[in-house]
Chain A
Amino acid sequence: AQSVTQLGSHVSVSEGALVLLRCNYSSSVPPYLFWYVQYPNQGLQLLLKYTTGATLVKGINGFEAEFKKSETSFHLTKPSAHMSDAAEYFCAVSGSGNTPLVFGKGTRLSVIA
């Protein structure tokens, strides 16, 4: 079984400040890990993913995440927040193969001018 815990349902940062969204996972198999962003009334946009290989993953819009197996974590960071980053962010886990993604509850990011 797999699960995802996102710490903090709401994170608020100032424009230009560091963004840190936390994600911890549980998986009985080697995990594939994903971060998605969702804007109101829209679908999901993939920010980045980890499958195998390099543990520091760079994604779109300046986001990156680091897979830490020992901590079962996959936290999302961005050095400098932009107003357009305000959205809902979901961390997800899956196994390999044709299996569904399991999502965390999401973290709403607010960016203050």
Chain B
Amino acid sequence: GAVVSQHPSRVICKSGTSVKIECRSLDFQATTMFWYRQFPKQSLMLMATSNEGSKATYEQGVEKDKFLINHASLTLSTLTVTSAHPEDSSFYICSARDRVGNTEAFFGQGTRLTVV
């Protein structure tokens, strides 16, 4: 089946710095990718929809200037957490639908971000 690779799996950064998370579709092209955030013991909340070659669409309450999304190619989307603070510590997961029929969603392994 299709694979979505997310990197890094874990990152620790200092407060005030920026962190970039990459999401790659390895064997299919994804015109759209989705970024989710998961707090401990909670569900996945959609943050934004990343569209190749155009601006991302953010969900209500998500700061687009803090969470920068770039979808530069059909196989790569990046999420940059800018000026990170401890409250940004969370588990971030990307996802992409298959192009034929959209009957499945593939998820990256997730990135555990800890801001100290």
Contacts and interface: CB of A to CB of B under 8 A. Distances in A.
A101 B105 contact: yes
Interface residues of B, number: 25
Given A100-B34, A100-B49, A43 B108 contact: yes
User: Which secondary structure dominates where chain B touches chain A?
Assistant: strand
A49 B49 contact: no
Interface in A70-113: 90, 92, 94, 96-106, 108
Contacts of B93: 43-44
B32 interface: yes
Interface size class of A (residues with CB under 8 A): 20 to 34
Contact of A98 (B6, B31, B42): B31
Contacts of B34: 100-101
A35 interface: no
Given A51-B103, A100-B34, A43 B109 contact: yes
A92 B105 CA distance: 11
Contacts of A51: 101, 103
A28 interface: no
Nearest to A6: B43
A36 B43 CA distance: 12
Interface in A25-52: 32, 34, 36, 41-44, 46, 49, 51
B63 interface: no
Contact of A100 (B42, B91, B95, B112): B95
A46 B95 CA distance: 12
What 3 A-B pairs are tightest by C-beta distance, nearest first? A43-B109, A100-B34, A43-B110
Given A90-B44, A101-B95, 10 more contacts: A32-B103, A43-B107, A92-B105, A96-B101, A98-B97, A99-B102, A100-B49, A104-B43, A105-B43, A106-B43
